[in-house]
Amino acid sequence: MNPKVVSELRRIAEENDGILQPETVVDEARPVSSPLHSRFEWDNSIAGQKHRIWQARHLIRVVVEVLPGTKISHDVFVSLTTDRREGGYRIMADVLSEAEMRNQLLRDALNELELFREKYNRLKELVEVFKAIKKVKRRRKK
C-alpha cells in the first residue's frame, strides 16, 4: 500500500480517538490535494451504479435458506475464485454436487483460512484452530 495513503489513514484515525470511520475517510478525501482523493470515484453517475452493484453482491452473499425440518441455515449462493473475474455467483447445492467445483470451493476455503491465520496469528487462544487448519491442509496434499 502507498505509504502516503497509510499515513493519511493513520492521521485521520488519530484525530478521531483511534477510530477510522468510512464516512470520515470520504470527507477527508474530497479535496483533490488529499492523498486519498484518487482512491474514490467522484462522478456520482458512475459511483451510483458501482454502489448498486456492491449492494447486489451483498444481497447475494447474505441470502440463506433454512434446511427443511431443521433450524439450520445455509448459504444459497457462493462465489468461486474461478468465477470472480466476472463477479459471478453459483448455487451452492450445484457446487457441492459437482466434484471439480466442490474441490475449488475447498481450495478457496483453505486460502481464506490462511488469510485468517495471518490476520490473527498473534492470538495464542487460536493456536489449536491453526493446528487444525494445518492438519486439513496436510491431509488434502496426500
10-20 per-position pLDDT tens digit: 999 999 999 99
Above 90 in pLDDT, residue 122? yes
Is residue 119 pLDDT above 90, yes or no? Answer: yes
Classify residue 82: in a domain, yes or no.
Answer: no
pLDDT band, very low/low/confident/very high, at 140 (cuts 50, 70, 90): confident
Residue 79 falls inside a structural domain: no
Q: Identify the band that residue 84 occupies on the pLDDT scale cut at 50, 70 and 90.
A: confident
Mean pLDDT confidence for 45-72: 92
Written as nine digits, the cell of 27 is 470527507
Please tell me the distance from the alpha carbon of residue 101 to that of residue 139, in angstroms, as a whole number: 19
Is 60 domain-assigned?
no
Terminal C-alpha separation, the chain: 37
Which structural domain, as residue segments, surrounds residue 16? 1-40
Residue 25: inside a domain: yes
pLDDT in tens, 95-115: 999 999 999 999 999 999 999
Evaluate whether 29 touches 40 at the Cβ level (below 8 Å).
Answer: yes
Query: Does 73 map to a domain?
Result: no
Rounded CA-CA distance 60/133 in Å is 27
Q: What total of structural domains would you count in the chain?
A: 2
In a domain, 66, yes or no: no
pLDDT at 130: 94
Within-domain flag for 116: yes
| Any domain includes 85 | no
Element (H, E) at 73: strand 73-75
Q: Could you give the percent of the chain with pLDDT greater than 90? A: 89
Predicted confidence at residue 81, as pLDDT, reads 94
